[in-house]
Structure 1
Amino acid sequence: MSNDKKADFSGVTAKVDSTENIKEKADFSGVTARVDSTEDIVGVGGPQAASYTIAKGDTLSSIAQKHYGKAGAWKMIFEANRDVIDDPDRIFPGQTIKLPPTE
């Protein structure tokens, strides 16, 4: 599955002096870190992808029409399921796919 968004660790900095010959506790007061939320990437706290089990006669277009109201949304379904669907014209009854939330 391709995802254009990637975690940005460019703001993470750290400094740790060696504690090899120090008998006191290490001082980590100079350590800083910044973590941006990956919520919009993984969908935590937002709309979750529903699952759908493909039935005989289903096509990605018919599933998109039924769940999103537009057959053209088949591309969104296909992209969300690249890990289980190699060819959008070859889906099989019994396959379980994700129906991603609309944006």
Structure 2
Amino acid sequence: MGLFAFIKEAGEKLFGTGEAKAAQEAAAKTPTPVNIESANVTAAKAIQNYIAKNNLPTDGYEVKFDAASGTVIVQGNIDTQANKEKVLLCCGNVAGVEAVQDQLYVPSAEPEARFYTVVKGDTLSKIAKEMLGNANAYMTIFEANKPMLNHPDKIYPGQVLRIPPK
């Protein structure tokens, strides 16, 4: 459990489309102030939908969003350490999110992965060489970040990746 930092400007742009965009447009058309609680709920639902879209488990825990701090709070139970880490990354690799507060419980203890923030010029091979000691281990990183990654060459600066334990 802990607080994980992310780059607010990097990531999936969930809040400018779909339900979140509709909520923003509706709020803009009314002269009354935006209902912050409703906007937070809508943003949390957009994040939950993104988690589901990545074929990760969505039962047993809840996702909350606090727009004022840019923080996602994830609390409850999840089946494996790998799924926990992938859910946390789904929550954090969203434009507008600065931090993810991890309150997820995994029933059986498993080794934790490390996280790596991509910088300009990085490739999975370069990251594998630095983090795992072997550039040819890039597929290990790619596999550990599926389904969020769909191609080994499609990473971007600011994205946070899961580096599995050796």
Aligned residues of 1:84 and 1:97 also touching (Cα < 8 A): no
Offset at residue 90 of structure 1 (A): 1.3
Q: How big is each residue's C-alpha offset from its partner over 1:14-67, in whole Å with a ceiling of 9 and x where there is no partner? A: xxxxxxxxxxxxxxxxxxxxxxxxx9x636434201111100000000000001
Query: Greater share of helix residues, 1 or 2?
Result: 2
Structure 1 unmatched ranges of 5 or more: 2-38
Q: Which residue in 2 is equivalent to 1:54?
A: 118
Query: Greater share of strand residues, 1 or 2?
Result: 2
Partner SS for 1:61: helix
Q: Which residue in 2 is equivalent to 1:86?
A: 150
Root-mean-square deviation over aligned CA pairs: 2.2
Which of the two has higher C-alpha Rg?
1
Give runs of aligned pairs for residues 4-19 of structure 1, distance below 5 A: none
Q: How big is each residue's C-alpha offset from its partner over 1:48-101, in whole Å with a ceiling of 9 and x where there is no partner? A: 011111000000000000011100110100001012211101110011110000
Tell me the percent identity: 44
Q: Which residue in 2 is equivalent to 1:64?
A: 128
Q: What TM-score comes out, normalization by structure 1 length?
A: 0.55
Pair 1:45-2:109 in alignment: yes
Q: What TM-score comes out, normalization by structure 2 length?
A: 0.35
Aligned residues of 1:51 and 1:98 also touching (Cα < 8 A): yes
Structure 2 unmatched ranges of 5 or more: 1-53, 55-78, 83-107
